[in-house]
Chains A and B, each alone.
Chain A
């Protein structure tokens, strides 16, 4: 199983651990990732400015993957929604498709529409499957309470992303449960993390983030768990700034799903970049205990 991977623009400097943990986990699961050097931004940040610019950026990546007969996988909700939206528009609106193809033709690309856009969670759930994942788990979390944050763009707009039911989503919960962690229900679960307005209205952004972290903590969570580059930067890096700016001492650290799963697959925490989190997440390993009868060992599957 090979995918062309769309890595989000925030990861090379601000979230290196998402790249390294995804690589390590997918290697352990025998899923091949192809890094297409020519890939550009998915276009998400351009949606505010110029829809066509966004579609053009997405379309180019879809074409590059199409040329290699690959589907695109992303670990960022915003990239996911953005690519799917572009794919939808290109399929629906002949004039946009013509216009975009005219521009892409200059570099020998043409959008055909055969490439699918997949989210990492969706691949794990549908293609690998819960049972197969369970078999690979060698370490289980005991007594770890996780507040699962889906993130907006993996659920909404419903017609576009079609990942799970936006109101009663369970897919991510089930994936987290594989690791042995306990899922806690929390009221603010489906709200936005606040990232889209960070840099535009920081007070508002911090309000939204704080509302979520407070609610999750009060509901008993030890950690947030996310599967989106923007959400993680917001809950980790921005939350750290928030805590110092608002003079708060109690935050709620957030862990990437690939880090959480990686630990339970027995992957070295250094490869998963656990120590690179801005808000200390190293304590999470204290919740780990060996499975009673490990089916398979991945003890040294560091890259």
Chain B
């Protein structure tokens, strides 16, 4: 009764959760383009897309990906053999237990009419599969907690997955172990399955089971007479052997049985096997009910992501389907951390403390943002910073074991933030090169936006003497800024400058304009001069600083050995640091 009620409750939560989760794939949006597509449009596009794909030669690609990537887990195999073994043990062991043991009434009994859970090979296999899962979990704990891989993050969901699986497995082994020794279980079996009826036979059979099967009886204790045991064996062969193998085959549980046997009688009296049984199935039901909401959901979303990405691409696929796929991909992530370990700028996390630099953490943040669970400007800024700190090298996408196209995800989410008007000063750095390469995918108006916002931020933050008519107040000169520059060998060379303007004449940027001061605010020699005077605001908001190519023509030309380009780099660093500190 309790079993059925809790099963049905868990099943209902699971089914409702599944529907709710899948509905979010069509309701949530990633990227500004997706906002314009209605849920119904996305649903129809998905149905159409699936049907068209299945009826096309692409079905062969899908089959190949299903076998190699979904079943065989090729992508993890290539990445790391240890992790492949870990995942195969957990996923293989658990699936086999699910099919053979949890669904025994539906599957195993249909295939093998003589099936009994206590009979070999099933008795042995159940232990073997359980051991596989435990070994897999062991590798996982070893990798996440003992190896101490830098930048591999653990979160509550990772712990939950390991803990719930461990509870299911351990409670199963303990349950089986306590049942081996349980006298009550033994008696139930005798009543249900044997036709033993006289007192002497009962005693003989029980003696045999105490001796050979590990049962702990409150009344009988070895050593027994050989004669009684022989009689017991005959009875056993007649009544029990057909559906009960020796418990030693369940080698883990038998070990448990041996350990608990001194306490067996009291455990049995206290009803411990029943408690363990409840714990075992309740843990399974909790796992089932919570599955759609946990990272375990990757069991479904992961294969779908692999299959979808195998047959979709940015240029040809329906934008409605890409919108749906991108939300689904957020559910496919297993937080395995492969992307973060292979990230081209992952090491930056040691210098710039923002976990959103790491793709795995960025994805988790994007997932919360997409579900409207991030509202604070501060948090959005951190995600956006992480989105900008990316060289678009494609590594994360190439290595993702569930085939998530992370690159496109970053691009679209970044555009969302940009269109929503969140400024990011990193837009003024070479990191914008990559966005430039995709400019044909964007409206010209949208394209300029982050640059305008970033320049605006600079102008607002560094607004001193913003009109040529304002006299410069000597009290506002910033000497700490000069001190900052002097700390580096390159920076300190600004004091050698005697304003000969050679740097400006050599500068390809300055030479590009008829009236450089008007177009650029300051020219290179003016920047060096403003540094010596202590006018950072003039420098930080000048266009010259942010359009410096870093080509080193000025530095090469300087007769005084002023490291002009290096100074400009140092000034850019300083401006960005000041803005970041303030906001």
Q: A1: CB under 8 A from chain B?
A: no
**Contacting pair A50 B436 (CB below 8 A):** no
* Tally of A interface residues using CB under 8 Å: 54
Q: A247: CB under 8 A from chain B?
A: no
Question: What is the chain A residue whose CB lies nearest that of B545?
Answer: A48
Residues 379-418 of B contacting A (Cβ, < 8 Å): 391-395, 398, 407
Question: What is the chain B residue whose CB lies nearest that of A207?
Answer: B512
**Contacting pair B553 A196 (CB below 8 A):** no
**Contacting pair A53 B433 (CB below 8 A):** no
User: When chains A and B are docked, how far (Å) is the Cα of A207 from the Cα of B551?
Assistant: 15
Summarize A's interface: helix, strand, loop or mixed: helix
User: When chains A and B are docked, how far (Å) is the Cα of A158 from the Cα of B398?
Assistant: 37
**Contacting pair A156 B347 (CB below 8 A):** no
**Contacting pair B556 A166 (CB below 8 A):** yes
Q: B431: CB under 8 A from chain A?
A: yes
| Min CB gap B338→A, angstroms | 12
**Contacting pair A51 B576 (CB below 8 A):** no
Return the contact of A48 from the options B344, B395, B435, B569 (Cβ within 8 A).
B569
Q: B489: CB under 8 A from chain A?
A: yes
User: When chains A and B are docked, how far (Å) is the Cα of A43 from the Cα of B439?
Assistant: 24
**Contacting pair A50 B573 (CB below 8 A):** yes
Known contacts A13-B392, A45-B429; is-contact A204 B512 (Cβ 8 Å): yes
Q: A47: CB under 8 A from chain B?
A: yes
Return the contact of B348 from the options A53, A166, A233 (Cβ within 8 A).
A53
Return the contact of A51 from the options B149, B391, B439, B573 (Cβ within 8 A).
B573
Question: What is the chain B residue whose CB lies nearest that of A241?
Answer: B440
Residues 14-46 of A contacting B (Cβ, < 8 Å): 14, 37, 40-41, 44-46
Against B, the Cβ 8 Å flags (1 = close, 0 = not) of A173-209 are 0000000000000000011101111111110110110
**Contacting pair B342 A37 (CB below 8 A):** yes
User: When chains A and B are docked, how far (Å) is the Cα of A56 from the Cα of B347?
Assistant: 8
Q: B426: CB under 8 A from chain A?
A: yes
* Tally of B interface residues using CB under 8 Å: 57
**Contacting pair A14 B437 (CB below 8 A):** yes
Against A, the Cβ 8 Å flags (1 = close, 0 = not) of B507-518 are 011001000000
Q: A284: CB under 8 A from chain B?
A: no
Residues 536-583 of B contacting A (Cβ, < 8 Å): 543, 546-547, 549-553, 555-556, 563, 565-566, 569-570, 572-573, 576-577
**Contacting pair A9 B344 (CB below 8 A):** yes
**Contacting pair A198 B433 (CB below 8 A):** yes
Return the contact of A44 from the options B149, B430, B566, B577 (Cβ within 8 A).
B430
Residues of B within 8 A of A191 (CB): 508, 551, 553
Return the contact of B433 from the options A93, A195, A204 (Cβ within 8 A).
A195
Return the contact of B553 from the options A52, A156, A202, A207 (Cβ within 8 A).
A156
| New A-B pairs, 19, CB < 8 Å, besides A41-B345, A41-B391, A207-B512 | A10-B391, A10-B392, A10-B393, A12-B394, A13-B392, A13-B393, A46-B348, A48-B431, A51-B569, A56-B347, A56-B348, A57-B345, A107-B149, A158-B556, A191-B508, A192-B549, A197-B509, A200-B428, A241-B439
